[in-house]
Copies of this chain bind each other. A is one copy, B any other.
Amino acid sequence: MERRAVVLLSGGLDSSVAAAKAVSDGYAIYAMTFLYGQSHSREVESARRVAEFLGAKDHVMVELPPFLFSSSALLGGAEIPTGRNADEIPRGEIPSTYVPARNIVFLSVASAWAENLQAEAVYIGVNALDYSGYPDCRPEFIEAFREVLRRGTKAGVGGRPLKIIAPLIGMSKAEIVRLGHSLGLDFSLTWSCYRGGERACGVCDSCRLRIKGFKEAGLKDPLPYEVEVDWGEAGEG
């Protein structure tokens, strides 16, 4: 039987690279994307394209009621911060784009589906280095969640708990870009911008981190940006 993995796929850079990693690790991937009242659907469309590009066996959308997360800036509860350089994003501070218990919910629902599919693993593209303000992106959170699966599921009690694989957790954005590049991921299918235009805004925290990652990796991002980006040597030719 095929080895199955459920992949949490938002359509962003990180989750897309994590999904590509699952494929290269030999898994038949089952992608799961959450709809929870995000202000734009651009990312969801990206998730669809990435899942197709990676040959996912199935791709499900799970709709959650927007009231669950409504205090977050991502859902209109506060201002999305823009205009700061990646270096200026405060470390150790929880950003206004924090979404309450989001990865706990995502991992839980993915784990339920995985147990049903008899999948071996769930992949999640969290990373703790850049943007470390989110508590649910840290290794100690992932480890605590693994313990929940060991104690709270049939597979866990049976000694074969579902694996939670967070391949990017210790990587910088540049390393993530390099990994995606080496796995042949088409970055033009992914979307990171907090806003949902035709082109990425280039100034929100998420765009800034992405651009910095590509630059440090010595690569040019194939995504079109609203603002002019100096890609340095990578942009030449």
Chain A interface residues (CB < 8 Å from chain B):
60, 62-65, 67-71, 94, 98-105, 107-109, 111-113, 115-116, 135-136, 138, 140-141, 144-145, 147-154, 156-157
Contacts and interface: CB of A to CB of B under 8 A. Distances in A.
A68 B104 contact: no
Given A113-B67, A116-B67, A154-B98, A104 B148 contact: yes
Contacts of A94: 154, 157
Contacts of A109: 64, 68, 105, 108
A144 B136 contact: no
A69 B108 contact: no
B154 A135 contact: yes
Sort A-B residue pairs by CB-CB distance and give the 6 closest, nearest first. Answer: A100-B115, A101-B112, A141-B152, A108-B108, A136-B152, A105-B108
B151 A148 contact: no
Contacts of A115: 71, 100-101
Contacts of A136: 152-153
A156 B145 CA distance: 14
B116 A71 contact: yes
Given A136-B153, A141-B151, A145-B152, A101 B108 contact: yes
Nearest to A118: B71
Given A104-B148, A105-B105, 17 more contacts: A62-B65, A69-B112, A70-B116, A71-B116, A94-B157, A101-B111, A101-B112, A101-B149, A102-B112, A103-B152, A105-B109, A105-B112, A135-B152, A136-B153, A138-B151, A141-B148, A145-B152
7 contacts: A63-B63, A71-B115, A100-B111, A101-B149, A104-B148, A104-B152, A105-B111
A153 B101 contact: yes
B154 A144 contact: no
Max chain B CB contacts within 10 Å: which of A63, A65, A100, A102? A100
A116 B69 contact: yes
Contacts of A152: 101, 103-104, 135-136, 138, 141, 144-145
A153 B65 contact: no
Given A148-B141, A148-B148, A112 B68 contact: yes
A148 B105 CA distance: 11
